[in-house]
Amino acid sequence: MSKKIRVRFAPSPTGGLHLGGVRTVLFNYLFAKKMGGDFILRIEDTDQTRFVEGAEQYIMDTLTWCGLTPDESPFTGGPYAPYRQSERKAIYRQYAERLIESGYAYYAFDTPAELEQMRNDFKTAENPSPQYNHRIREKMKNSLTLSASEVESLLTTGTPHVIRIKMPEHETITFTDMIRGEVSFQTAQVDDKVLLKADGMPTYHLAVVVDDYLMKISHAFRGEEWLPSAPVHILLWKYLGWENDMPEWAHLPLILKPDGHGKLSKRDGDRLGFPVFAMDWTDPKTGEKTIGFKERGFLPEAFVNLLALLGWNDGTDQEIFSMAELIEKFSIERVHKAGAKFDYEKAKWFNAEWIKQSSIFSLQSSIEKVLSDAGIQVDDKEKLAKVIALTKDRCTLLTDFVQQAGFFFKRSETIDLAAIQPKWDTAKKAFFTALITAYENVNHWEATELEKICKELATTHQLKPGELMLPLRIMLVGGKFGPGVFDIAAILGKEETVNRIQKVIALLQ
Ligand code: GLU
């Protein structure tokens, strides 16, 4: 029987979720859904010093917003619960001890001061930060250098200790990465990582292997930054006797800064003025707030779509994909090895395309929310639907609806009189006064009729319609923006249109 497909996203809850993290979720999710498998969210919170209040809920909220709902998680539970490593603490020690018994790991009793001393003693110009490795472990205080009775007595007296993996000196670890092909590491380059800490908590290295095994993970897809840890993990799978159950690996390419130099960081976003986190994140310690794609005005469909294309394509020129299409077309082998440059202009293009092709109905509630956040209340849903139909092709971000659509519901607080004033004269005043009367008498209040009346009246007044459009727009809208001026008037209705024209004429006296 072939193995059930089970993948996991295993974040450490340390802050806002970087778009690279969401892309890791997405590729896991797409793969699982395509193969009829399960997608698991596991919280890797073994490093208590890095615990950040609210980060776990934030991760779950982000996944929900993106429509990437896990089948099993700390929130929903599941057959392999608990899904929070801090709640699984009791599970790990036995595996670390099993490794000691089989000679693949050892107790280390070095104090922080002794470790510091070691770093000083072995520091050279070529090796400024020496690591605890096969060369150095011989000189340290551990169960490889101490006698069995010394070790026994240190353990029984409760001397603080860690458990370290005993990396082989000269082995080549080779594995097949689904994206990179064959990857090899020399064990001599890798230090003796701590597996179990003095507080009894496992480190990430031990916990990730034990949990991937116990949770029957079939494929481990994670960011490229974890590639250097792969040899440690592969050895642990082997040393624990689980080699036949080891998941297939894929290390996803980095998301690069717009200029292609280095990994995109939150700081790049701050510097260049675009979001890097999925949703707004407020650091609970400093109170510092970081803007997210959601609050910047991205649709989740667009966010997911643009992330999918950061490092993957389906082999054609197609760029717009729905989630269903992504699930159908995704394959991990088509993910590129090379890093993907992040281009914010392109990200916005995806959003504009998604706004264009989304139905009015599906946009309604998010636009209502954006307007209400800007202090604009929508009193009439039918009117909102008409406004969205008229303005959605002009908006790149949902927040653009504040300018493009807000004035339909609330008169602009500022009116760009300076744009009208220089060419305002008695002839124009007479025209607009007559326009008010003409509009008051209109029976069929709709755009083409309003345009016809305006143009005919312009001819009567011997004015060019071209000179009248800008003042009329500013009267209705407040500034030089928005859709067709008669379409605007049609939606505003007779009373409101007339009132707005009247008000501006009065201001121009
Ligand atoms: N806890 C790791 C992280 O924070 C998980 C890496 C992995 O998927 O193995 O990303």
Distance, CA of 269 to CA of 293 (rounded, Å) = 11
pLDDT tens digits for 263-294?
Answer: 999 999 999 999 999 999 999 999 999 999 99
Mutate to test the pocket of ligand 1, among 222, 236, 249 (most ligand atoms within 8 A of CB): 222
Distance, CA of 402 to CA of 466 (rounded, Å) = 27
**Residue in 108, 117, 173, 102 with CA at minimum distance from that of residue 138:** 108
Distance 272 CA to ligand 1 centre (A): 28
pLDDT tens digits for 110-133?
Answer: 999 999 999 999 999 999 999 999
Average pLDDT value for residue range 245-254: 97
How many residues are listed for the chain in this entry?
509
> Which is the catalytic residue, given 34, 197, 266, 494?
266
Which pair of structure tokens corresponds to residue 45? 């919170």
Q: Specify the residue for token string 């794609």.
A: 293
Distance, CA of 6 to CA of 29 (rounded, Å) = 10
Domains of the chain: 87-252 (3.90.800.10), 360-507 (1.10.10.350)
Distance 406 CA to ligand 1 centre (A): 43
Distance, CA of 197 to CA of 203 (rounded, Å) = 7
Let me know the angle formed at the C-alpha of 44 by 41 and 47, rounded to the nearest 5 degrees: 165
pLDDT grade for 46, boundaries at 50, 70 and 90: very high
pTM, 2 dp: 0.94
> What kind and span of H or E run contains 175?
strand 172-177
Average pLDDT value for residue range 424-445: 97
Whether 507 and 415 have beta carbons less than 8 Å apart is answered as: yes
**Residue in 291, 309, 400 with CA at minimum distance from that of residue 346:** 309
pLDDT grade for 49, boundaries at 50, 70 and 90: confident
Greater model confidence, 230 or 48: 230
Whether 25 and 9 have beta carbons less than 8 Å apart is answered as: yes
Q: Verify whether ligand 1 is closer than 6 Å to residue 226 (CB atom).
A: yes
Cβ neighbours of 143 (radius 10 Å): 22
Mutate to test the pocket of ligand 1, among 27, 208, 215, 263 (most ligand atoms within 8 A of CB): 208
Q: Verify whether ligand 1 is closer than 6 Å to residue 249 (CB atom).
A: no
Q: How far is CA 73 from CA 82, 201, 215, in A?
A: 8, 21, 12
Whether 407 and 477 have beta carbons less than 8 Å apart is answered as: yes
Average pLDDT value for residue range 181-193: 96
Q: Is 139 a catalytic residue?
A: no
Instruction: Say yes or no to pLDDT of 2 above 90.
Output: no
Rg of the chain (C-alpha set): 32
Average pLDDT taken over every residue of the chain: 97
Distance 94 CA to ligand 1 centre (A): 22
Instruction: Say yes or no to pLDDT of 1 above 80.
Output: no
